[in-house]
Amino acid sequence: MNQAESGTTTDELSFSSLNLRDALLKNLSSLGYGTMTPIQSQSLPIMLEGHDIIAQATTGSGKTAAFGLSLLNRLNVENYAVQALVLCPTRELAEQVAQELRQLARLMPNVKVLNLSGGMPIKHQFDSLRHSAHIIVGTPGRVQKHLDKETLSLDKLKILVLDEADRMLDMGFFDAICDIIMVCPKQRQTLLFSATYPAEFEKLSSQFMKNPKRVVVEKSHDELDIEQIFYETNHQKNKFPLLKALLLHHKPISTLIFCNTKEQTTQLAGMLTKEGFSAIALNGDMEQMDRDAAIIRFKNQSCSILVATDVAARGLDIKELPAVINFELAFEHDVHIHRIGRTGRAGNQGLALSLTTPADGQRLRIIEDNLKRPITWGKASELNKATHAILIAEMVTLCINAGRKDKIRPGDILGGLTKDAKLAGNMIGKIDITPLYSYVAVHRNQADRAFDYFKNGKLKGRKFNVKKLK
Residue among 283, 278, 327, 280 nearest 304 (CA): 278
Residue 443 dihedral angles phi and psi, to the nearest 5°: -55, 140
Per DSSP, the three-state class of 255 is strand
Q: How buried is 378 (Cβ within 10 angstroms: 0-12 exposed, 13-18 middle, 19+ buried)?
A: middle
The DSSP code for 283 is -
* H helical segments located in 58-131: 63-74, 91-104, 122-129
Per DSSP, the three-state class of 236 is helix
The structural domains of the chain, ordered by start, are: 2-217 (3.40.50.300), 221-382 (3.40.50.300), 395-468 (3.30.70.330)
Beta-sheet strands, E only, within 20-98: 53-57, 84-87
Q: What stretch of H or E contains 190?
A: strand 189-194
Determine the Cα–Cα distance for residues 385 and 382; give it in Å rounded to an integer: 9
Q: Residue-wise over 298-323: b if at least 16 C-beta within 10 A, else e?
A: bbbbbbbbbbbbbbbbbbbbbeebbb
Give how far Cα 11 sits from Cα of 19, 35, 40, 347, Å: 18, 9, 12, 19
| pLDDT at residue number 411 | 85
Determine the Cα–Cα distance for residues 93 and 84; give it in Å rounded to an integer: 17
Beta-sheet strands, E only, within 401-444: 428-433, 438-443
User: What are all long-range contacts of 260-265, with beta carbons under 8 Å and residues at least 24 apart?
Assistant: 260/309, 260/310, 260/328, 260/330, 260/331, 261/309, 262/309, 262/312, 264/327, 264/328, 265/307, 265/308, 265/309, 265/312
Residue 176 dihedral angles phi and psi, to the nearest 5°: -65, -40
Residue 197 dihedral angles phi and psi, to the nearest 5°: -130, 80
Low-confidence ranges of the chain (pLDDT < 50): 2-11, 220-223
Q: What is the pLDDT of residues 56-84, one digit of tens each?
A: 887 667 899 999 999 999 999 999 899 99
Residue 186 dihedral angles phi and psi, to the nearest 5°: -70, -30
Handedness of CA 69, 75, 80, 85 (dihedral sign): negative
Residue among 114, 29, 27, 115 nearest 73 (CA): 27
> Distance between terminal CA atoms of the chain?
51
Q: What is the 3-state secondary structure (H, E, C) of 168-184?
A: HHHCCCHHHHHHHHHHC
Residue 252 dihedral angles phi and psi, to the nearest 5°: -70, 140
pTM over 0.95: no
| pLDDT at residue number 4 | 45
> C-alpha angle 431/433/438, rounded to 5°?
80
